[in-house]
Amino acid sequence: MKRQSIENLEFDVLLDEFKKILKDGGLKYTQQREALLRTLYNSNCHYTPENLYLKIKENYPELNVGIATVYRTLNLLEDSGMATSISFGAQGKKFELAIKPHHDHLICKNCGKIVEFHDPTIEKKQLSIAKENGFILTGHLMQLYGVCSDCRKKGAN
């Protein structure tokens, strides 16, 4: 069910694509689902479903949004390629829309802080490794784990 690349799309175009995905999946477009999409679109955060639910409730108090709708919609967005997630094991996943140019992540294993980065040297090396092994690279997800400077200052390791 993957679709065309959605990097750098304006919200109206993204919303139209979202409506098509809902229709193809036999689901209805609702204001609650649009509020979820708009919240992700207007943020640089990586949200857990629970944090996203709370943010939607805060930003759209007039809407009756259920946590189950948040989970279902995030799964639909991820399955369609419109969102990506980072798994934190027992702590669950954090989601972001896949509209930004490709980037990788540094993740603090203590506080969960996520830093996005892009390194052309790493990108070239990955292509080279794929070619050396007879692969045509179609995508990748790089997550580097460690301890951020704030946690190190607090004595965490």
Q: At 106, which amino acid appears?
A: L
Q: Are 128 and 119 in contact (CB under 8 A)?
A: no
Q: Is 105 annotated as a binding residue?
A: no
What the block records as the tokens of 153 is: 């200052």
Q: Is 151 annotated as a binding residue?
A: yes
Q: Is 96 annotated as a binding residue?
A: no
In terms of Cα–Cα distance, which of 63, 74, 80, 58 is closest to 5? Answer: 80
Q: Is 104 annotated as a binding residue?
A: yes
Q: Is 102 annotated as a binding residue?
A: yes
Q: Is 140 annotated as a binding residue?
A: yes
Q: Residue 96 burial (CB < 10 Å; 0-12/13-18/19+)?
A: buried
For residue 120, the number of C-alpha atoms closer than 13 Å in the C-beta half-sphere is 0
In terms of Cα–Cα distance, which of 22, 17, 15, 16 is closest to 5? Answer: 17
Q: Is 108 annotated as a binding residue?
A: yes
Q: Are 111 and 148 in contact (CB under 8 A)?
A: yes
What the block records as the tokens of 113 is: 């802080």
Mark the binding-site residues for Zn(2+), compressed into ranges. 108, 111, 148, 151
Residue list for the binding site for Fe cation:
102, 104, 123, 140
Q: Which residues are annotated as a binding site?
A: 102, 104, 108, 111, 123, 140, 148, 151
